[in-house]
């Protein structure tokens, strides 16, 4: 099979199915709901969907805990609904990238249920089972911590051993060192590819290979606050070998794409994962720019805009001609970018959202739009713990709730950083429940839905929606598409605290991208090497004006072709 690397001409829309659209009134989004909204996506102009997990799952982590890889979650519908959905996508020229969650399963997966029965069960070695330490083995086998808080091990009474879970207790880690596990993964990937899937977003794929000593013991990690043990499982010992095998045995036989979720990945590592010659993954999501407003992934700090630009620029330059970037500001684990990267936008929500869109979509790579980003959905003001739904947040709350002064700190962190911001229902209209469901929604919609919604966006020719539509068209089908796709990247104003300015150059042609990230007027001086050049406006969120030294208005963004 010839692989066409179609992702280099893709704009991907991420759907978090639980919150997208409910077709049957049970308050939970579903697959028929997605099918019902495909014409909307077609109108937006995206040509691929990344669907967060829709497999059978008891929902300890909203589907990222899978109990059957070959079936659909009851609340989302049936495999037949899924087949109808993918057919309807393909009919509209929209590809489908599924989430592939194979670092762990649910503890309700048949493999795990078998594995916990006895030490000699044939599935025992599908997971990491170890004796505990200390008297009676009642202390976890090592000091690794789970991303959901506390130790990464859970004691199980049946066999008096512990199993590893780098995420929630209900998400036991698969033992990829067992060849049978790797074969199972190959088989299930093949199962979906044969059903017509176009690719996979590979969940926490950089964690799949853990350090295990020859005597079977799993060493302690270095002591540090927060996550412990990651130097033992992040880009672990056999990861490149396992991904290469998956590619050779399965992926390479289909014209599909992969994007690996790769928290903590450096440029050097990213190049190893995505170098075409090494045949592993096509692209990765790095997280570096997501760390510009927080310490240790959770503790909020002031947004460092200069660092943000530096990181994005560094990735643009380093991957140029070698690999392909993934461009994103939002997903289901991140707060909304409006406000987060723009400061308080007041009555300039539309201008700010359009400016952010330009700043990202003019870069090289695969742009991702997270559901609702195209209408400028914003972060929620959570007032009470009972408003939160994310199990990760609720686990943290359980740990701190007895310490009175921690409660307001917890709420402040959730309001800045919580994963729930992106998970409230998609805002379709000003009707009850934002038009998301006719029943009782599983998650209360954002209070601003009467004003921020799809219906309103489709009526307003100046909406954020139509601006995204224009940006997508520029990338996929315009006379500057080649520059956006293939042009090299150079930055200007690197130390400016207000402006993000870069060029994309292809031969003699250039795009100059100017973005004012601030809610105030900012003076812009044309860089010396571009002064006096003939320039035509390609897109702007205000009105067209000639390229010259000028005062940019709040969040003004302009792209010139030079």
Tokens at 432, concatenated: 């009850």
Q: Which residues within the stretch 98-117 sit at the binding site for ligand NOJ (CB under 6 A)?
A: 101
Task: Based on the shown chain and the rule CB under 6 A, indicate whether residue 257 belongs to the binding site for ligand NOJ.
Answer: no
Q: Which is nearer to ligand NOJ, 62 or 323 (CB)?
A: 62
Catalytic residue status for 68: no
CA 1 – CA 188 distance, rounded (Å): 19
Q: How far apart are CB 57 and ligand NOJ at their closest, in Å?
A: 11
3-class DSSP assignment, residue 156: strand
Catalytic: 230? no
Identify the bridge partners of residue 200 per DSSP, sorted by sequence position: 98, 258
DSSP single-letter state for residue 133? B
- Name the catalytic one among 30, 261, 330, 374: 261
Among 123, 128, 162, 167, binds ligand NOJ (CB under 6 A): 167
Q: Which is nearer to ligand NOJ, 23 or 391 (CB)?
A: 391
The token pair at 249 is 């045995």
Site for ligand NOJ in 294-353 (CB under 6 A): 332-333
The residue sitting closest to ligand NOJ, measured at its beta carbon, is 64
Could you tell me the smallest distance in angstroms from the CB atom of residue 53 to ligand NOJ?
A: 8
* Choice between 261 and 280, CB closer to ligand NOJ: 261
Chain positions 380 to 439 lying near ligand NOJ, rule: CB under 6 A, are none
| CA-closest candidate to residue 199, choices 50, 56, 325, 77 | 50
Give the C-alpha separation, 112 to 124, whole Å.
Answer: 8
CA–CA separation, 300 and 383 (whole Å):
18
Task: Please name the residue that has the structure tokens 């209900």.
Answer: 170
How far apart are alpha carbons 266 and 510 in whole angstroms? 29
Contact positions with ligand NOJ (CB under 6 A) in 200-219? 203-204
Q: Check residue 465 for interaction with ligand NOJ (CB under 6 A).
A: no
- Residues 260-299, interacting with ligand NOJ (CB under 6 A): 261
State the number of binding residues for ligand NOJ (CB under 6 A). 9
Nearest-CA neighbor of 232 among 149, 142, 136? 142
Q: 22, 30, 61, 330: which one contacts ligand NOJ (CB under 6 A)? A: 61
Q: How far is the CB of 61 from ligand NOJ (least distance, A)?
A: 5
Distance in angstroms (rounded) separating the CA atoms of residues 241 and 225:
31
Site string for ligand NOJ, 346-385 (x = CB under 6 A): ----------------------------------------
Considering the rule CB under 6 A, would residue 7 count as an interface residue with ligand NOJ? no
Which residue spans within 279-342 are E strands per DSSP? 283-285, 294-295, 299-300, 326-327
Query: Of residues 65, 75, 198, 203, which has the active-site annotation?
Result: 203
Smallest distance, Å, CB 76 to ligand NOJ?
Answer: 16
Residue 161 found at the interface with ligand NOJ (CB under 6 A): no
Q: How far is the CB of 333 from ligand NOJ (least distance, A)?
A: 5
Transcribe 420-468 into DSSP letters.
GGGGSPP---SSGGGGS-SS--SSPPPGGGGTSSHHHHHH-TTSHHHHH
Residue 510 CB partners (closer than 8 Å, separation 6+): 483, 487, 503, 504, 530, 561, 562
Q: Is the dihedral of CA 296, 325, 535, 461 positive or negative?
A: negative
Residues of this chain that bind ligand NOJ (CB under 6 A): 61, 64, 101, 167, 203-204, 261, 332-333
Active-site residues, by number, are 203, 261
């Amino acid at each position: 099979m010839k692989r066409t690397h179609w992702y280099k001409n893709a704009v991907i829309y991420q759907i978090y199915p639980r919150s997208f659209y409910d077709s049957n009134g049970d308050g939970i989004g579903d697959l028929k709901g997605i099918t019902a909204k495909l014409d909307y996506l077609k109108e937006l102009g995206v040509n691929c969907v990344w669907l967060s997990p829709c497999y059978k799952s008891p929902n300890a982590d909203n589907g990222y805990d899978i109990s059957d890889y070959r079936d659909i979650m009851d609340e989302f519908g049936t495999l037949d609904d899924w087949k109808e959905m993918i057919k309807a996508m393909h009919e509209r020229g929209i590809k489908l990238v599924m989430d592939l969650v194979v670092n762990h399963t649910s503890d309700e997966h048949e493999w795990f249920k078998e594995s916990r029965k006895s030490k000699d069960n044939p599935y025992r070695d599908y997971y990491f089972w170890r004796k505990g330490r200390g008297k009676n083995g009642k202390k976890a086998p090592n000091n690794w911590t789970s991303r959901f808080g506390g130790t990464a091990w859970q004691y199980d009474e049946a066999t008096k051993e512990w199993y590893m879970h780098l995420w929630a207790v209900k998400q036991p880690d698969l033992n990829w060192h067992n060849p049978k596990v790797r074969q199972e993964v190959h088989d299930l990937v093949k199962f979906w590819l044969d059903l017509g899937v176009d690719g996979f977003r590979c969940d926490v794929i950089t964690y799949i290979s853990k350090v295990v000593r020859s005597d079977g013991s799993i060493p302690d990690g270095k002591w540090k606050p927060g996550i412990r043990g990651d130097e033992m499982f992040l880009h672990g010992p056999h990861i490149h070998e396992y991904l290469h095998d998956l590619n050779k045995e399965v992926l390479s036989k289909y014209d599909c794409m992969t994007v690996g979720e790769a928290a903590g990945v450096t440029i050097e590592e990213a190049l190893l994962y995505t170098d075409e010659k090494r045949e592993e993954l096509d692209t990765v999501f790095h997280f570096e720019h997501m760390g510009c407003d927080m310490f240790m992934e959770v503790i909020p700090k002031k947004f460092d805009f200069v660092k943000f630009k530096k990181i994005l620029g560094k990735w643009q330059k380093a991957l140029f001609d070698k690999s392909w970037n993934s461009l994103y500001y939002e997903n289901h684990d991140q707060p909304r970018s409006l406000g987060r990267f723009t400061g308080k936008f007041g009555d300039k929500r539309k201008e700010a959202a359009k400016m952010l869109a330009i700043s990202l979509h003019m870069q090289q790579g695969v742009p991702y739009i997270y559901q609702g980003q195209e209408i400028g959905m914003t972060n929620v003001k959570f007032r009470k713990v009972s408003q939160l739904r994310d199990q990760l947040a609720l686990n943290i709350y359980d740990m701190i709730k007895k310490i009175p002064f921690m409660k307001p700190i917890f709420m402040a962190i959730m309001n800045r950083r919580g994963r729930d911001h992106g998970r409230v229902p998609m805002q379709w209209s000003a009707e009850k429940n934002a038009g998301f469901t006719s029943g009782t929604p599983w998650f209360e919609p954002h209070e601003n839905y009467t004003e921020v919604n799809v219906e309103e966006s489709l009526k307003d020719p100046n909406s954020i929606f139509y601006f995204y539509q224009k940006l997508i068209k520029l990338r996929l089908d315009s006379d500057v598409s080649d520059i956006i796709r293939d042009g090299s990247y150079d930055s200007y104003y690197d130390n400016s605290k207000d402006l993000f300015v870069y060029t994309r150059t292809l031969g003699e042609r250039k795009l100059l991208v100017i973005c004012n990230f601030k809610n105030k007027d900012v003076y812009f001086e044309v860089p010396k090497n571009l002064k006096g050049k003939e320039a035509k406006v390609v897109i702007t969120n205000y009105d067209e004006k000639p390229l010259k030294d000028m005062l940019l208005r709040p969040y003004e963004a302009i792209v010139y072709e030079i």
